[in-house]
């Protein structure tokens, strides 16, 4: 795929305000460090901050487990060693996000996480750079309206109903965790940590998906555009006679 062209299509079709980017897992640190112009953190970060450096600043960043602040971030991307009893219990979230032991443990069990032990490193990079060729998954932030248009594009050919879940806090498990683990399109409502540490805006959602699904969605959105459906959707008016508009949109 021509990643520069793909990124341009996404930005034009969805009027994106941040940079679409890729994420790729590596079995060895050496493979990650071989990426052209990769940056290595000098500070400890959350995974949300690493993602934001690609989507907001246009950086190519490579990390290992040691660059992440704790087990919660590491677990989602499979960079923590085998998840231990303490992590599974969710004790660090009890009394903070969940009332009791049962709720904290149930939350941890509900998260989509990459299997431990497969990878030593991870990198994120703007899609247009082509430095992750191909990325394991592509990600972008967009408004709810843009996300619905993107989903319409995925459903243009070979219709499929999408069912997504909301884990709550640690919503990265709903987006990049789920997409990396299942290799399926994954939509999320970003959580507190993503907004607090990752710079996610209040009206943004996050889509993560394999590259092949991205190509399908772009093809679908182009077809919808030929039928007059383009984002942002023009307002018709809440008191107008609706028949003229409906005749065009739903022949």
Structural domain boundaries in the chain = 3-233
| Tokens 């079709």 sit on residue | 13
Nearest partner of 224 among 142, 150, 158, 141, judged by Cα = 150
Q: How far apart are CA 191 and CA 172, in angstroms?
A: 8
Model-wide pTM > 0.85:
yes
The answer to whether residue 81 scores a pLDDT higher than 70 is no
The answer to whether residue 241 scores a pLDDT higher than 90 is no
Q: Reduced to 3 states, what is the DSSP secondary structure of residue 203?
A: coil
Nearest partner of 121 among 213, 38, 9, judged by Cα = 38
Q: Reduced to 3 states, what is the DSSP secondary structure of residue 80?
A: coil
Give 197-222 pLDDT, tens digit per residue.
999 999 999 999 999 999 999 999 99
Give 23-71 pLDDT, tens digit per residue.
999 999 999 999 999 999 999 999 999 999 999 999 999 999 999 998 9
Contact residues for 129 (Cβ-Cβ < 8 A; gap 6+)? 3, 60
b/e map 193-210, b = 16+ CB within 10 Å: bbeebbbbeeebbbbbbb
Q: In degrees rounded to 5, what are phi and psi of residue 8? A: -65, -40
Average per-residue pLDDT in the chain? 95
Dihedral (CA of 145, 147, 150, 155) sign: negative
Query: What is the 8-class DSSP label of residue 115?
Result: P
Query: What is the 8-class DSSP label of residue 5?
Result: H
Token digits for 241?
């006679």
Contact residues for 219 (Cβ-Cβ < 8 A; gap 6+)? 153, 156, 157
Give 119-170 pLDDT, tens digit per residue.
999 999 999 999 999 999 999 999 999 999 999 999 999 999 999 999 999 9
Task: List beta partners, residue 26.
Answer: 121
**Half-sphere exposure (Cβ direction) of 94: Cα atoms closer than 13 Å:** 13
Residue 184 has what pLDDT?
97
Q: How far apart are CA 195 and CA 210, in angstroms?
A: 24
């Amino acid at each position: 795929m021509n990643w520069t062209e793909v990124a341009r299509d996404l930005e034009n079709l969805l009027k994106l305000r941040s940079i679409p980017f890729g994420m790729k897992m590596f079995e060895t640190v050496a493979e990650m460090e071989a990426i052209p112009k990769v940056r290595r953190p000098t500070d400890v970060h959350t995974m949300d901050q690493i993602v934001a450096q690609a989507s907001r600043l246009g950086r190519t960043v490579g990390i290992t487990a040691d660059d992440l602040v704790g087990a919660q971030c590491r677990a989602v991307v499979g960079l923590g060693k085998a998840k231990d009893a303490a992590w599974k219990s969710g004790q660090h979230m009890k009394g903070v996000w969940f009332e009791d032991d049962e709720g904290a443990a149930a939350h941890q069990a509900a998260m989509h996480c990459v299997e431990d032990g497969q990878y030593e490193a991870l990198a994120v990079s703007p899609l247009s750079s082509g430095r992750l060729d191909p990325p394991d998954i592509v990600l972008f932030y967009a408004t709810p309206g843009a996300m619905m248009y993107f989903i319409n594009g995925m459903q243009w050919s070979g219709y499929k109903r999408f069912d997504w879940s909301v884990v709550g806090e640690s919503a990265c498990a709903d987006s990049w965790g789920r997409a990396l683990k299942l290799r399926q399109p994954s939509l999320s409502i970003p959580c507190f940590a993503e907004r607090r540490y990752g710079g996610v805006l209040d009206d943004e959602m996050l889509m993560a998906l394999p590259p092949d699904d991205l190509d399908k969605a772009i093809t679908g959105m182009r077809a919808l555009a030929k039928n007059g459906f383009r984002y942002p959707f023009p307002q018709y008016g809440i008191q107008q006679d609706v028949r003229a508009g409906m005749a065009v949109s739903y022949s």
